Amino acid sequence: MVIREAGILFRGFTLAQASYHKTTELDIDNDLRSSLMTALVNFAEGVFSVDSVEYFEMKKFVISFIKDRIKPSDSDDPESIITYAILDKEKKLGKIIKKMVRPSLTKIVHQFKLKYDGKNLSEISQFRDFKQELDNIFGTDTKTIEQKLKGTFF
pLDDT digits (tens, 9 = 90+) for 101-135: 999 999 999 999 999 999 999 999 999 999 999 98
Residue boundaries of the structural domains of the chain: 3-153
Sheet of strand 55-57: strand arrangement: 13-19, 3-10, 79-88, 61-70, 55-57
pLDDT digits (tens, 9 = 90+) for 48-82: 877 777 899 988 999 999 999 999 999 999 999 99
Kind and range of the H or E run holding 42: helix 30-48
Dist. CA 154–CA 34, nearest whole Å: 38
For domain 3-153, which architecture applies?
2-Layer Sandwich (3.30)
Under a CB-based contact definition with an 8 Å cutoff, are residues 8 and 109 in contact?
yes
